[in-house]
Amino acid sequence: MGFAFALLLPFLLITNASGAAPNYLDTSSYPSPGQSQLLAAAEGRGQPTAKELRSLTEAYESDPAYLKLVEAYQGGLYRYFKVNPEKPAAWKKKNAKLLKGIDNYVGSSDESMADEEISWQSINGKLRQKEKLTAAEQKYLDEIKASMALLPTVKGLAFRGQAMTPERFASIPEKAVWPQMAFTSATLSYSTARGFGRGHEGYSWTGILILKLKSGAPVSPLTFDGGSGGQPGRLDEYELLLAPGSKLFVHAKIKDEENQTYYVLAEER
């Protein structure tokens, strides 16, 4: 995506009088029939069948509106922060605090970085188990939260991929609030979510959360990570991050036997 082209795309910037991070992008500003139906499902307005969900999700990214949406996700954020992604060095130097927390969470496309003693994975594990964090872990966590507080947010349709066993799927509450104890990652891209949520034969199925969000933090663009050494980068993940303590209201759970997929339809409360 060219930087100049991206900045010409329209995006929604909603000023928040309370001083909280504004929404800079609403997915419904790039409407398509598929998005409208998936948002309705995430809001509990009607309940599509498993076959209908499969058809809607698989066709979603082929709509021209989706391409405009993901271009606005990146280009709109660069415009918000007045940064040229092709020459970000000076901007990165001035925004070290913001980038520190993003780097803590997103990390690098270099797989060797996965062996660090403290990572978002280790912190998420402790948060889910309600274990006490060390001082170093708390600092790491606070840096991520500080970065999220500086980011404008995205609202609207998103997806989360999460491989699920039958027991895990059954444990998710329905017609009720589902608290998220740890950082929760979602994406604008259904195909990305499906890749991350792919099940393991004989053990788990692919799990897909179809979500309506109101405060997704756009962490991918400011990595400026297009990949290297044959490894894919973070830019095309179109990631949206929810902070620990976020709440999802689950309207429905749907089981797709034919495609071995569990669907969870929920909205952020």
Angle ∠(134,136,139) on CA atoms, nearest 5: 110
- What pLDDT, on a 0 to 100 scale, did the predictor assign at position 232? 59
- Please determine, for residue 194, whether its predicted confidence score (pLDDT) is greater than 70: yes
**Cβ-based neighbour number of residue 62 at 10 Å:** 10
Average pLDDT score, the chain: 89
Q: What is the largest CA-CA distance in the chain?
A: 52
Q: Span 237-252, mean pLDDT?
A: 97
Q: Which tens digit of pLDDT belongs to each residue from 79-97?
A: 999 999 999 999 999 999 9
**pLDDT for position 12:** 46
Per the model's pLDDT, the better-predicted residue between 253 and 4 turns out to be 253
Q: Residue 121: how many CA atoms within 13 Å on its side-chain side?
A: 6
Instruction: Give the domain 3-89+154-268 fold.
Output: Toxin ADP-ribosyltransferase; Chain A, domain 1 (3.90.176)
From 5-14, 69-78, 147-156, 227-236, the region with the lowest mean pLDDT: 5-14
Q: CA of 162: how far to CAs of 19, 154, 232, 247, 261, in Å?
A: 33, 21, 20, 17, 10
Q: What pLDDT is attached to residue 7?
A: 39
Which of 6-15, 135-144, 215-224 is least confident?
Answer: 6-15
Give per-residue pLDDT as tens, 97-110: 999 999 999 864 44
Please state, in angstroms and rounded to a whole number, the distance separating the CA atoms of residues 140 and 27: 31
User: What was the pLDDT predicted at 261?
Assistant: 98
Opening angle at CA 38, ends 32 and 40, nearest 5:
105
Tokens of 104: 């803590």
Is the pLDDT at 54 greater than 70, yes or no?
Answer: yes
- Closest alpha carbon to 134 in 181, 142, 178: 142
Closest CA to 188 of 50, 6, 63, 98: 63
pLDDT, tens digit, for every residue of 19-40? 456 889 999 999 999 999 999 9
Please indicate whether residue 234 or residue 181 has the higher confidence score (pLDDT). 181
- Quote the pLDDT of residue 4: 40
CA dist list (Å): 105 to 43, 62, 100, 145, 148: 29, 30, 9, 10, 10
Q: 140: number of CA atoms within 13 Å, CB side?
A: 21
What string of DSSP letters covers 229-242? TTEE-SGGG-EEEE
Question: In this structure, how many other beta carbons lie within 10 angstroms of the beta carbon of residue 82?
Answer: 7
